[in-house]
Chains A and B, each alone.
Chain A
Amino acid sequence: QVQLQQWGAGLLRPSETLSLTCAVYGGSFSDFYWSWIRQPPGKGLEWIGEIIHSGSTNYNPSLMSRVTISVDTSKNQFSLKLNSLTAADTAVYYCARGRMARYWGQGTLVTVSS
């Protein structure tokens, strides 16, 4: 059974950096892309980016200048950093497995407010 467990700070101020980590339990870590997806309150889903075990990444062009996704294969974990936060970055952030996401983390509400 594959499980994704994510954590990170939930309340940040404008201009700060969001940092979230997702740990993967069960299944193969090296056979899949690992994704971050977000959902602003009451709105639709937005794909942020993905990483594979080698460290190769793909990012949403609209966020590319502010996003870094990294991987720690020794711990079966991957992480998201998003800098220069504004209120528009307030959202539930999800980690997920694959390009079509079969498994999801529980979600983390990140609120950006002064």
Chain B
Amino acid sequence: DVQMTQSPSTLSASVGDRVVITCRASQSINSWLAWYQQKPGRAPKLLIYQASYLESGVPSRFSGSGSGTEFTLTISSLQPDDFATYHCQQYNTYSYTFGQGTKLEI
């Protein structure tokens, strides 16, 4: 399996901050990476696919970059609604593995 390692596991930030979450793959996954946002008791929500494509309806303060084994999710200016857990997922190679999640808290 491709191992996905997210960092940090927990991130403390404030409204207006710029934050960066990193996801590293144990082998190249090209650009087949997605980012999800999850709030307690809810299903994940797709934010970014194919590493850098913004899902329809997702605010432009979210952006993704990277290819191969290193990827980042950037939130340019944190809003109160952004405090949640973020997951990366590779869908290049079976089985499609997720990172362990990054909890973004105040």
Interface residues of A (CB under 8 A from B): 35, 44-47, 49, 58-62, 94, 96, 99-102, 104-107
Cβ B98 vs Cβ A101 within 8 A: no
Inter-chain contact A104/B95, CB cutoff 8 Å? no
Residues in B neighbouring A107, C-beta threshold 8 A: 43
Are B95 and A61 within 8 A (Cβ)? yes
Q: Which residue numbers of B lie inside 8 Å of A, CB to CB? A: 1, 32, 34, 36, 43-46, 49-50, 55, 87, 89, 91, 94-101
A101 with B46: in contact, given A46-B98, A47-B95, A61-B95 (CB under 8 Å)?
yes
- Enumerate 26 A-B pairs (CB-CB under 8 Å) in ascending A order: A44-B100, A45-B87, A45-B89, A45-B98, A46-B98, A47-B89, A47-B95, A47-B96, A49-B95, A58-B95, A60-B94, A60-B95, A61-B1, A62-B95, A99-B91, A100-B32, A100-B34, A100-B89, A100-B91, A101-B36, A101-B44, A101-B46, A101-B89, A102-B49, A104-B45, A107-B43
User: How far does the Cβ of A37 sit from chain B's closest Cβ, in whole Å?
Assistant: 8
Give every chain A residue within 8 A of B55 (Cβ-Cβ).
Answer: 102
Instruction: State the total of A-B contacts with C-beta under 8 angstroms.
Output: 53
The B interface, classified by DSSP as helix, strand, loop or mixed, is loop
The answer for the CA separation of A94 and B32 in the assembled complex, in Å, is 21
CB distance from A102 to the nearest CB of B (A): 5
Chain B residues within an 8 Å CB radius of A101: 34, 36, 44, 46, 89
Residues of B within 8 A of A45 (CB): 44, 87, 89, 98, 101
Nearest CB in chain A to that of B85: its residue? A44
Instruction: Output the nearest chain B residue to A42 by Cβ-Cβ distance.
Output: B101
A106 touches B94 (CB 8 A): no
A106→B43 contact, CB < 8 A: yes
Complex alpha-carbon distance, A94 and B38, angstroms: 13
With A44-B87, A45-B89, A100-B89 as known contacts, state yes or no: A59 contacts B95, CB within 8 Å: yes
Flag if A44 contacts B98 (CB, 8 Å).
yes
- A94: chain B residues within 8 A (beta carbon): 43-44
A47 touches B43 (CB 8 A): no
Query: What residue in chain B is nearest A49 (Cβ atoms)?
Result: B95
